[in-house]
Amino acid sequence: MDMSYTPEQIAFRDEVRRFIAGAMPPEIRHKAENGGHYEHAETMQWHRILHQKGWSAPHWPKEVGGAGWDSAQRHIFSEEMVRANAPSLSPFGLTMVGPLIIQFGTDEQKQRFLPKILSGEEVWCQGYSEPNSGSDLASLQLRAEKEGDDYILNGQKTWTSHAQYADWIFVLARTSAAGKQQEGISFLLADLKNTPGVEVKPFMTIGGTLAFSETWFDNARVPQANRVGPENQGWTMAKALLGHERTSIGGVAESSRLLNMVRRIARDTRVGGKTLMEDATFRRRLARLEIRLRTVGMANLRTLASAQLGHAPGPESSILKIAGTEVQQEITELAMDAMGHNAMGWYDSPTDAMPEYQLWMASNFNYLRASTIYGGSNEIQKNIISKMILGLPPS
């Protein structure tokens, strides 16, 4: 792959850079410059700003409202977003269910849902995992029984990320007990805010935030028209969406932000009369992570290039998920080592007590311990690689 930019791509990069610099509101710019944490409202504010420019969905085709950019343009845009430390948009609508509706949805579903995903008017969350069906997703028990034109949903989902902010949820539900477990599942879209019988209960994570929720369905009525794809063939939808999710979970942009923060910490931290950045041992750890992150970045580019040719994410997304999440965790470990006692800060500390980036580092370190588990644990990804890429028999 030729990684040098053409004059047209350099002009595009400059356009993106100018736009970000001019469009970023003062409060977001302050957090960007000081490594602060973006709340949901700020992320959605940035989403709407990008939508007004037509840039909220770089990977969607133009005919459904996306930017229609090629893989190089998307890579440049991502680079510039990281460079500016701009907020990362929520992936559940734009990166996960949106592409699935584009691929498998009816014309009515595309007209109903895609514009409001693009604009950020409706926020989405994912209802896959259940208390006894995490990595073994096919064992899920949320029931969806037909009654008239609706399904009646009963059961529970868990680890529903940011459900307290969401207007809609996409769920996998059991619509048949016949055949293999994977054959009786359907993919449904449910109005989270206006459906009687749906209750969201956020719970505290080890990072000290309400990032996850339990979501309960008690005779909740969902129109059959909200089923994506054929009944009992939701497993096909699930696999397609998980491929998109694992690609995004690779987290190249977020890891790049974190690594930039580590460099800043190392430059600002003095040990024994010199900065930490001047320490040879620290520089070797930093260089090793930079090399690993570049490798993950190249794997991500290959996935983007494949998608540009119309290919859905395949088992290579499992490689990206494993490598990306391991790098994420190692970067936060390096950051914590570099900060030393300064890592004792917490997000609810007084904002004038320490630099903003110190407030969230420990919380982020704790939260990212889950990254090798969510989106399909890394052990499950290794099984997929052994079967789909290496051709080994099931374990």
Q: Which residues are catalytic?
A: 245
Beta strands in 132-244, from DSSP E residues, in sequence order: 143-147, 150-157, 168-174, 185-191, 198-203, 212-223, 227-228
Task: Name the DSSP class of 160.
Answer: -
Strand partners of residue 215? 157, 200
Q: For residue 301, give the nearest of 121, 106, 71, 29 by alpha carbon.
A: 71
Residues 6+ apart with CB under 8 A from 284: none
299 token code pair: 């794997």
Angle at 106 between CA 104 and CA 112, to 5 degrees: 115
388 token code pair: 């789909």
Print the SS3 string covering 379-390: HHHHHHHHHHHC
Please give the full DSSP string across 112-139, using - where no structure is assigned: HHHHHHHHTSS-EEEE--BTTBSSSGGG
| CA-CA-CA-CA torsion sign (298, 85, 371, 303) | negative
Is 92 within 8 Å of 169 (Cβ atoms)? no
Could you give the CA distance from residue 194 to residue 294 in angstroms, rounded to a whole number? 44
Q: For residue 94, give the nearest of 66, 70, 72 by alpha carbon.
A: 66
Could you give the CA distance from residue 100 to residue 7 in angstroms, rounded to a whole number? 34
Q: In a 10 Å sphere around its CB, with 0-12 CB exposed, 13-18 middle and 19+ buried, how is residue 209 labelled?
A: middle
Could you give the CA distance from residue 395 to residue 383 in angstroms, rounded to a whole number? 7
